[in-house]
Chain A
Amino acid sequence: MTQTITLRVNGKEHTVEVPVQRLLIDCLRYDLGLTGTKEGCSVGVCGACTVLMDGQMISSCLTLAILADGKELRTVEGLAQPDGTLSPVQQAFIDYGGFQCGICTPGMVTAATALLEANPRPTEDDIKEWMMGNLCRCTGYYKIIASIQGAAAHLRGEETP
């Protein structure tokens, strides 16, 4: 059983025919070729597969692709400028050493982007609460928090350390 769905991903509209049981992460990675989003735990715990659907963070490994029909999605591929210039969050993850092996990074930067759009001035506790569902097995959490604080300061036009 298949279903034809139309979804906008990073501003571009796609129409694809998917089996009804297709997961959104598989649709993104295999049907649309957007392999930036990673699959970690497959049970909604680790946050590697984080994408934004209609502006809200979701686990794409727990979402059926057919549920994304008619929705607006943002993935890690949509964060940088079309010319490749990194977003302030992505740049801060480099500048502050927020990523090590890189597997959690797409989910981390996508979640952090959503955080700074919802709250431009997060406290350290706000960051910890928001990012609690994104796990880093290199345990680089302090630098990830510093990266998000750096990106927040940059976005507010403040001097950054």
Chain B
Amino acid sequence: MNPFAYHTPETEQEALTLLHEHGDEAKLMAGGTALVIMMKQRLVLPETLISLHRLRGLSDVQEVNGTVHLGALLTHRAAETSPLLRQRLPVLAETYRHVATLRIRNVATVGGALAHADPNQDPPVTLLALDARVQLTSVAGSREVPLESFFTDYYETVLRPDELLTAIRMPIPAPHTGSAHIKFLPRTADDYATVGVAATVRLDPATGVCQDCRIALGSVGSTPLRAPQAEGVVRGQRLTPELLREAGAAAQQQTDPISDTRGSADYKRAMAGVFVRRALEQAWQQALQQTT
């Protein structure tokens, strides 16, 4: 690793001021589990490292007016074990619980993971299905961006050099909504997935018809993906095996995976269809249980 100038801001304001001063030359480090590997491999050579480990705040979990707020510096482990998250958004708590290993989850943060923007990660998939937004803050002010328009390419986001991702927010799902996140792990349980899928399904309790649906996929494109065509297939319909197959086929069309050790591009595309079907069915069954 190369040497760097090192700063440890203790407040959000100090961190933002440092970012404003150093801009592109600086890298922010939260848990460091992704950045340190990139620095060791010399893929990233920051002149200035701004470590957020002494920063107070930005690690809260709150529910305000039907919205869940996660401070960006919350660790994966804290998210996974948060009583509020387990009660209000169990699918998200479970997604965090199945990221990598406990050693990584003890330090990796929910905001840091999004800013890292590796399309193989699990949380962005569930967060997309939950209609999450991220708050991006600089000395000039703050803006909220839907997670859907946050990722732009492999390891690329709309974050400007002077911006810090400070919070993730998402609505608590409406009644009669089921949700699921499943991933295909043919190698080991702590590996990145061959494909990961999250789905939410909201049903009309009287008719069992799907009123709304969100489907998202990971590991099958340069960013985590939403599958609007597949969602369109499902909205207004009742659950049938044909519908699930049709939705899977529609989602598959939108994927653009690369071949690697976790499967060939063709195989990943085929598995994307299968796992969309399974995630959708699981979410649907969960929603049905709430209507009876």
Contact = CB atoms under 8 A, between A and B. Distances in A.
Contacts of A62: 32-33, 36-37
A3 B6 contact: yes
A59 interface: yes
Chain B contact-residue range equals 20 to 34
**Main SS of the interface on chain B?**
loop
Contacts, number: 69
Given A44-B37, A58-B107, A132-B101, A67 B3 contact: no
A130 B2 CA distance: 34
A101 interface: no
A133 B105 CA distance: 11
Interface string B156-179: 000000000000000000000000
Contact of B103 (A3, A21, A58): A58
**Main SS of the interface on chain A?**
mixed
Interface string B1-24: 111111000000000000000000
A63 B32 contact: yes
Chain A contact-residue range equals 20 to 34
Contact of A133 (B36, B51, B190): B190
B55 to A, nearest CB: 13
B44 interface: no
A19 B33 contact: no
Interface of A: 1, 3, 19-21, 23, 42-45, 47, 50, 56-59, 62-64, 66-67, 111, 129-130, 132-133
